[in-house]
Amino acid sequence: MKILVVGGAGYIGSICTELLLDEGHTISVFDNLSEGHRRAVDGRANFFEGDLGDLNSITSALTASQPEAVMHFAASALVGESMENPSKYFRNNIGSGLNLLDAMVSTGVKRLVFSSTCAIFGPPERLPIDETLPQRPINPYGESKLAFEKILRWYGEIHGIDFVSLRYFNAAGASGNFGEEHRIETHLIPNVLKVALGQKAHVEIYGTDYDTPDGTCIRDYIHILDLSRAHILALTSPGGAFYNLGTGGGTSVREIIESCRKVTGREISVVEKPRRPGDPPRLIASSEKAQRELGWRPQFQNIDAIIESAWQWHQKFPNGYGD
């Protein structure tokens, strides 16, 4: 299949591109490199540097690559930043997303796999979070993703765009060649591993008095390879569907740090700080629907294995992509 991966120079997009190429698909990548890295684009893929904010740019890439499907990973994705600069999130995640959809309509591309988020639900009424829960986002990031999901429904009905939306929380781990490097790193695992690498003095724990077994927040971590396989399965599944992705379990902040100590064999200093506003004690997603309808089965249920893959990549590329 010919596929255009939008945001394919980013963390999830780059590894999904790698797996698609390994399976024999013909892949083109579209990215503006504002958050992604040119070196994260698999050398077997065609690369178009462009911005979704420019309708002509994405239309030209679709015309040149003639894909049968699009995977859409391009988005602003920092919850805290979205509370400070909501305009950026609505422009990038909704306005630029509309450019992609309009370009798909004009070039006749009918299939889209959308990288969404469980942040559309807000604080959940129950765990794990399944698709039936009410959608009440509490930040502009989650609101922007939910708005785009609603737009997808209408583009499906009016223009025949056949879409699948995948919602998840914490992608983690690495492949042999590609891993996690953000210009502003807010994710826990890479920040803990930076301490193990000697690049940071300590890791910070925000809140130790939550109603959890060890007092720290619990989150659902999915190996990036499992996540990528879910996106690939969605390429050929029935459209008009929304799926939550999770491992069915969760790992606390302290457990992540302890696992990193075990995997790396190094000391990791911790500084405890007060809670951050809006951090729920537990966030765990249900993947029962995805397992039932997509046939998705996460292979990496053990947090040590996820962290081991990330550690191997960070050791191999201690300075990341170096750009």
Q: If you ran DSSP here, which 8-state letter would residue 128 be given?
A: S
Q: Are strands 241-244 and 162-167 parallel, antiparallel or unpaired?
A: parallel
> What is the amino acid identity at position 277?
P
DSSP 3-state of 251 = strand
Is the bond leading into 128 cis (omega within 30 degrees of zero)? yes
- Joined together, the tokens standing for residue 227 give 């996540």
Does the pLDDT value for residue 193 go beyond 80?
yes
Pairing outcome for strands 203-206 and 170-172: unpaired
Gap between the Cα atoms of 114 and 129, Å rounded: 19
Residue 54 has pLDDT above 80, yes or no: yes
DSSP element (H, E) containing 219: strand 218-219
> What pTM was estimated for this model as a whole?
0.96
- Mean pLDDT computed over 265-292: 94
Spatial CB neighbours of 233, under 8 Å, sequence gap ≥ 6: 294, 295, 296
Identify whether the C-beta of residue 218 lies closer than 8 Å to the C-beta of residue 249.
Answer: no
Q: What is the pLDDT of residues 245-275, one digit of tens each?
A: 998 889 999 999 999 999 999 999 999 999 9
Question: CA–CA distance from 179 to each of 2, 16, 95, 146, 201 (Å)?
Answer: 24, 11, 28, 27, 22
Q: Which pLDDT band holds residue 144 (cuts at 50, 70, 90)?
A: very high
Q: Beta-carbon neighbour count of residue 69 at 10 Å?
A: 21
Q: What kind and span of H or E run contains 16?
A: helix 11-22
CA separation for the pair 135, 141 (Å, rounded)? 13
Each residue of 217-240: pLDDT tens digit? 999 999 999 999 999 999 999 999
- Average pLDDT over every residue of 212-220: 97
Report how far residue 273's alpha carbon sits from residue 256's, in angstroms, rounded to the nearest whole number: 17
What does residue 171 show for φ and ψ, rounded to 5 degrees?
Answer: -75, 145
User: In the structure, what pLDDT confidence band is assigned to residue 155 with cuts at 50, 70 and 90?
Assistant: very high
- Across all residues in the chain, what is the average pLDDT? 96
User: pLDDT value at position 323?
Assistant: 64
Q: CB–CB of 124/167 below 8 Å? A: no
Beta-ladder partners of 128:
none
> Which residues, at least 6 apart from 215, have a Cβ–Cβ distance to it below 8 Å?
207, 208, 209, 254
Three-state DSSP class for 208?
A: coil
Catalytic residues, by residue number, are 141
Look at residue 277 in the predicted model and tell me its pLDDT: 82
CA quadruple 272, 85, 282, 277: dihedral sign: positive
pLDDT > 90: percent of the chain: 95
Alpha-carbon span 75 to 86, nearest angstrom: 13
Strand partners, 165: 114, 242
